[in-house]
Structure 1
């Protein structure tokens, strides 16, 4: 198997915060799909936008995750922030796609994209597996090499 590469930066985050954030994404997207709530999915898209494209320290879901980690007194484990930002950008695109598909009344397509997002977020939460690094290695990196 080819070695995986991730985007890298000098900034660090506590690994547990993105993992708990991923849990909150799973719960929020699942609720949005169960209740066919475009507003909830738009909230998730906005949350991903804040994490992916702004310099704000926290989005609403990552702030809740931060306080959860603090409340549970989980010891910090610093990791590179860049892969999490790349994953947030992918999450933004996917949640935006879900919102557009819901708005255009394509519920099955929206559910399909939501299932993929839920799968990726579940991998992050349960196993600290960043699907973004795999996608970066096989889809983004080859574009820069050519």
Structure 2
């Protein structure tokens, strides 16, 4: 089996925070669809944007996740931050796309794309499996190799 590669940085974060953030993303996406709220979907997209493209330490969802991790006294485990940034960029694109599709009344396409995002977030939460690393390995890295 081929080894997976992820983007690497020297920044470290507590693994529990992105896992808890994944739960909050799942809940937010479900609420957005349950209440037909493009606003909730846009807030999730904005949250991904903050995590993916700014230097802010926390987005609203990751701030809430950090508070939950501390309140629940979950054990800290330090991991590389770069794969989570790459995953947040993918999440932003997916959320922006399904929000746009929903706004254009292409509900089935929007729901399918949102379902993929929820599936990836569920893998992150339940198994600490980063789908971003798999996508990075097979779809991004080949373009940077000689």
Q: Distance in 2 between matches of 1:125 and 1:26?
A: 10
Q: Does residue 5 of structure 1 match 2:13?
A: no
- What residue is the counterpart of 1:98 in the other structure? 98
Q: Does residue 26 of structure 1 match 2:29?
A: no
- What residue is the counterpart of 1:35 in the other structure? 35
- Cα-to-partner distance string for 1:86-118 (whole Å, 9 max, x where unaligned): 000000000000111011110000000000000
Aligned residues: 146
Unaligned 5+ segments in structure 2 are none
Indicate the RMSD between aligned Cα atoms, in angstroms: 0.7
Equivalence map 1:62-81=2 (5 Å): 62-81=62-81
Unaligned 5+ segments in structure 1 are none
TM-score (norm 2): 0.98
Q: Distance in 1 between matches of 2:106 and 2:75?
A: 43
- What residue is the counterpart of 1:136 in the other structure? 136
Q: 4+ runs of 1 displaced by more than 2 Å?
A: none
Cα displacement (A) at 1:145: 1.4
- Cα-to-partner distance string for 1:63-103 (whole Å, 9 max, x where unaligned): 00000000011121100000000000000000000111011
Cα displacement (A) at 1:35: 1.5
